[in-house]
Structure 1
Amino acid sequence: MTYTPVAPFRVSTFDLDQLNQQFADALPQEILGWCVQHLSARLVQTSAFNVDDMVITDLLYRELRPSKPVPVLFLDTLHHFPQTLELVAKAQKRYDLDLRVYQVPEVTSRAAFAARYGEALWDTDIQQFHHLTKVEPLQRGLADLGAVAWITGRRRDQAVTRGEMPIFELDTHQRLKVNPLAAWTRKQSWIYVFEHSVIYNPLHDQGYASIGDEPITTAVEDGEDERAGRWRGTGKTECGIHL
């Protein structure tokens, strides 16, 4: 199936309530197909290469195959697990991704980051750590790409704080933010992975339900929220890019 874009919409013309009603029971590929057709070259997928992100990439690059590939924006925080970076390379090779990597300006390693901003900044000022490594690079990347809409891999069942998340919403910069897996469950994502042989981070098999930066990500125990291993003990529920 190949989607050919039509004339792009302006975000200001969207009726979000109508869109959310229209796609309330739609499959993720139907939501993504609409985005590809109507948002054309102004659409970006943001990906941390967690399992849900890989589902979306597979749908975009294997099933929908738009005439212009959707750029995949990856934030290299310099603190990822090696397994995450290995998966990024494998995914780029498998799908021939239009991969765009953004990181902290003028810093290229963990050691350089620590020398400039202090050792273990996540312990002393986690808000600043996330602003430097995620919030600012994300906004810079979306601006550079001219994005009017960006796709996330969030689901409502990932955490209590995401329970009412809509499929379509506006971010703080008035871009359209699309959550095509909002109504899916973790089980549905994994069923898709196994049915379509989607590659995924091996840390998922070691109890890491949600994978972020290595120094502040742990495995989760039975009965814990999927995202309980992110920023454990800090009281944080989001890194800042989805507030």
Structure 2
Amino acid sequence: MVSCVEAQSRNPLQSTPRLDFDPSQLDLTELNRRFESATPQEILAWALATVPNLVQMTSFSMGAITHMLYHELQARIPVIFLDTLHLFPETLQTAEKAKHFYNLELHTYRAAASRDDFIAQYGDRLWERDVDRFHQVTKVEPMERALEELSAQAWITGRRRDQSANRQIMPILERDPHGRLKINPLANWTHKDLWRYTFAHHVLYNPLHDQGYTSIGDQPLTTKVEAEEDERAGRWRGSIKTECGIHN
């Protein structure tokens, strides 16, 4: 993988940051065509050099993008973490480790101050009664609040095309429903690419991956995955649901 200096000097798409940056003025068709052969580091370096208010969204499952940003590219940008109050203890522990290891500018958003407060407001086991409402309250609304409060003009995700059928045609650059730029630097990476980078660079990752969990979300809605199953088969098992709502 390229280092910080290499990514900055080799990136053919690098530009000067603009205070009047407007995502709607970007030619995403052309940029996506050119980025298909770029490395994630080159895509991130372009974003850092182009977007004034850039943030990363992370679930603290796999830490490749955070490592690229904070270690390789030496970029200190806001990192958004959505604590749904229903996460695995291992996820919260990984978040705390990453915060201190990288000295993250971490912004944690929740739907309520505590699990008890959440139950008092929305009732217990909301995910069983209305899973869409559960995700709207715990993820979508906190995410929109985070992006608005941080004045984000673009946000980085860790999605990949090989994760599921509905992500196979995902572009590297897209616009969210509010017109913000949405950046998927790992779009054309495979599951093996991600783990190869993780091991080669000693990147922090959620230890639940070592216990048979390949995609990690809320504890009551996440199960282990068998070897022959898709990576995200353990999410919403027995349901036709494939996304929590923040990427719909």
Q: Is the TM-score greater than 0.5? A: yes
Q: Structure 2 counterpart of 1:60, which letter?
A: L
Summarize deviations over 1:140-187 as a string: whole Å, max 9, x none: 000000011000000000001100000000011110000000000010
Question: How far 1:212 sits from its partner (Å)?
Answer: 0.4
* Structure 1 residue 134: Cα displacement: 0.2
Letter in 1 for 2:44: L
Q: Deviations over 1:46-72 (max 9, x none)?
A: 000111xx1000000000113xx1110
Tell me how far apart the structure 2 counterparts of residues 108 and 5 of structure 1 sit (CA, whole Å). 40
What is the distance in 1 between the residues matched to 2:113 and 2:183?
31
2:83 aligned with 1:71: no
Three-state SS of the structure 2 residue aligned to 1:164 is coil
Moved more, 203-212 or 221-230: 221-230
TM-score of the pair, normalised by structure 2: 0.92
Tell me the equivalent position of 1:199. 204
- Residue 30 (structure 2) pairs with residue 7 (structure 1): no
Contact 1:5/1:36 (8 A) holds in 2: no
SS at match of 1:111: helix
Where in structure 2 are the equivalents of 1:115-194 lying within 5 Å?
115-194=120-199
Residue type of the alignment partner of 2:147 = L
The separation in 2 between residues aligned to 1:83 and 1:136, in whole angstroms, is 24
Q: Which 10-residue stretch deviates more, 218-227 or 55-64?
A: 218-227
Quote the Cα distance in structure 1 between the aligned partners of 2:139 and 2:121.
17
Identify the range of structure 1 (174-183 vs 215-224) with the bigger mean alpha-carbon deviation.
Answer: 215-224
Matching residue's letter, 1:111: D
Measured against aligned partners, the alpha-carbon deviations of 1:170-216 in whole angstroms (never above 9, x if no partner) come to 01111000000000001000000100000111100011001001111
What residue number does 1:61 align with? 70
Shift of 1:132: 0.3
CA distance in 2, matches of 1:154, 1:45: 12
Determine the C-alpha separation between the residues in 1 that align with 2:155 and 2:26.
15
Identity in percent = 55
Q: Verify: 1:50 aligned to 2:57, yes or no.
A: no
Unaligned runs of 5+ in 1: none
Output the CA distance in 1 between the equivalents of 2:188 and 2:67: 18
- The match for 2:37 is 25
1:13 CA drift (Å): 1.2
Structure 2 residue runs without a partner (length 5+): 9-14
The separation in 2 between residues aligned to 1:136 and 1:224, in whole angstroms, is 31
Question: Aligned residues, how many?
Answer: 236
Conserved? CA contact 1:148–1:176, under 8 Å: yes
Moved more, 115-124 or 141-150: 115-124
Q: TM-score, normalised to structure 1's length?
A: 0.94
Task: Give the Cα–Cα distance (whole angstroms) in 2 for the partners of residues 111 and 146 of structure 1.
Answer: 30
Letter in 2 for 1:193: T
